[in-house]
């Protein structure tokens, strides 16, 4: 009797264990496989053109750029970086109209000047607004906070690639000593402490780093009626090179030089992420994937999950404020807590996607019926 009971229990335990293992494989397996297959291969240094580009980057003369650069910026805040040890320079791409959002960012994740003794500096990159009134507000905002960089181009969806180029010029001219540069967008939440810790734990001399959420073998949009149409004359090949989602990616300072040098050879009309991917490829820099970057996706809030990931898209400012309030005042998470935080936010994000998906499907059905 006792024996049968024990044996049954063993079976039950096995069954439960099997389910738990299966659950975790389904949940994290894709990430592990992804990270394995998207590992960096050694860059093709052998290519003569790549070698030549890297040589040009090494010899890039920045002093001549300095002489001309004032013409490229309305607001340059050229002194914010000098005399400081900046480990991570964060460039947040923002719309001139969205000063409320910038305030929210200043009050939340960007309210940091260093992590464990390593300096961080958060700046906003803007173009010019279409209205004079907004420009006056931007000038005032810059005087108050001294954390804006404003280029002379019009801030429009079509000029975001130009914005990347201008941000790189600014970095090379006014902040060439920053070790790493994070490019991100204003709708993102960024976990700076975790990201800095991760960067500190890289090899002792981190070079050729281009890290983010990898977009693998994407095809150019060939639909002539679509907003993001890319003609074969702009980009003839079938696939884009692998690149990091433009929502957030990290470059080491040497990579900023390298991609700047090759940027003349890539068309500015391509989407910003793709543009950078092409420049990086020409410079022999391979993008590295990390699933801790969310891309444009919103990761459902969970305290220990948010302490682990690098970014999440949080479109609503008040949501960001609320979550930040809890996050800032909370204790560290143990390994087990982090693990279950990740399980929880993974499942919730998945269900969320499913909800959107089914709502979209319902709406499509409704449209079809009304047609």
Ligand X SMILES: *[C@@H]1O[C@H](CO)[C@@H](O)[C@H](O)[C@H]1NC(C)=O
Question: Which residues lie near ligand X (CB under 6 A)?
Answer: 64-65, 68, 95, 97-98, 101, 106-107, 111, 153-154, 156, 158-159, 186-187, 315
Of 111 and 364, nearer to ligand X (C-beta) is 111
Distance CA 192, CA 111 (A): 10
What is the token pair recorded at 12? 């039950």
Closest distance of CB 271 from ligand X, Å:
12
What is the token pair recorded at 225? 């009626």
Query: Other CB atoms closer than 10 Å to residue 3's CB: what's the count?
Result: 7
Closest distance of CB 100 from ligand X, Å:
7
Closest distance of CB 65 from ligand X, Å:
5
Residue of minimal CB distance from ligand X? 158
Residues pairing with 150 in the sheet? 75, 126
Of 51 and 111, nearer to ligand X (C-beta) is 111
Nearest in space to 257 (alpha carbons), one of 195, 205, 207 = 207
Phi/psi at 333 (5° precision): -100, 140
Closest distance of CB 16 from ligand X, Å:
44
What is the token pair recorded at 128? 């010019």
Of 68 and 139, nearer to ligand X (C-beta) is 68
Query: Other CB atoms closer than 10 Å to residue 335's CB: what's the count?
Result: 8
Of 27 and 60, nearer to ligand X (C-beta) is 60
Helix ranges restricted to H, the chain: 2-37, 48-59, 63-69, 99-107, 132-145, 160-174, 192-200, 253-262, 272-282, 303-306, 317-328, 335-370
Cβ pair 298, 313 in contact under 8 A: yes
Of 106 and 297, nearer to ligand X (C-beta) is 106
Of 65 and 348, nearer to ligand X (C-beta) is 65
Residues pairing with 312 in the sheet? 189
Closest distance of CB 221 from ligand X, Å:
16
Nearest in space to 323 (alpha carbons), one of 296, 339, 305 = 305
Closest distance of CB 63 from ligand X, Å:
9
Closest distance of CB 158 from ligand X, Å:
3
Of 64 and 226, nearer to ligand X (C-beta) is 64
Closest distance of CB 282 from ligand X, Å:
20
Angle at 133 between CA 127 and CA 138, to 5 degrees: 45
Of 10 and 113, nearer to ligand X (C-beta) is 113
Query: Other CB atoms closer than 10 Å to residue 83's CB: what's the count?
Result: 7
């Amino acid at each position: 009797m006792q024996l049968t009971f024990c044996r049954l229990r063993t079976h039950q335990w096995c069954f439960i264990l099997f389910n738990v293992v299966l659950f975790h494989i389904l949940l994290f397996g894709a990430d592990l496989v992804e990270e394995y297959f998207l590992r960096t291969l050694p860059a093709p240094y052998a290519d003569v053109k790549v070698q030549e580009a890297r040589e040009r980057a090494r010899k890039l003369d920045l002093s001549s750029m300095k002489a001309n650069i004032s013409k490229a910026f309305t607001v340059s805040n050229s002194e914010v970086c000098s005399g400081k040890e900046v480990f991570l320079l964060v460039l947040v791409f923002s719309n001139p109209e969205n000063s409320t959002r910038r305030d929210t960012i200043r009050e939340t994740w960007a309210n940091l000047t260093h992590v464990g003794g390593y300096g961080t500096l958060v700046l906003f990159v803007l173009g010019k607004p279409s209205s004079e009134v907004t420009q006056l507000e931007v000038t005032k905002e810059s005087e108050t906070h001294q954390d804006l960089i404003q280029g002379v181009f019009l801030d429009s969806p079509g000029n975001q690639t130009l914005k990347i180029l201008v941000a790189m010029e600014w970095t090379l001219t006014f902040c060439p000593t920053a070790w790493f540069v994070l490019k991100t967008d204003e709708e993102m939440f960024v976990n700076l402490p975790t990201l800095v810790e991760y960067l500190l734990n890289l090899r002792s001399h981190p070079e050729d780093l281009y890290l983010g959420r990898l977009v693998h073998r994407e095809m150019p949009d060939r639909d002539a009626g679509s907003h993001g149409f890319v003609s074969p004359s702009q980009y003839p090949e079938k696939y884009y090179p692998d690149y990091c989602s433009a929502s957030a990616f990290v470059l080491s300072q040497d990579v900023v030089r390298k991609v700047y040098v090759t940027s003349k050879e890539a068309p500015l009309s391509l989407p910003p992420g793709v543009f950078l991917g092409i420049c990086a490829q020409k410079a022999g820099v391979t993008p590295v994937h990390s699933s801790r970057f969310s891309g444009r996706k919103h990761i459902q809030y969970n305290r220990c999950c948010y302490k682990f990931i690098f970014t999440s898209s949080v479109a609503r400012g008040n949501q960001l404020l609320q979550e930040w309030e809890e996050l800032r005042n909370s204790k560290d998470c143990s390994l087990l807590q982090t693990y279950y935080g990740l399980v929880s936010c993974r499942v919730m994000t998945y269900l969320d996607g499913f909800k959107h998906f089914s709502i979209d499907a319902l709406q499509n059905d409704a449209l079809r019926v009304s047609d």
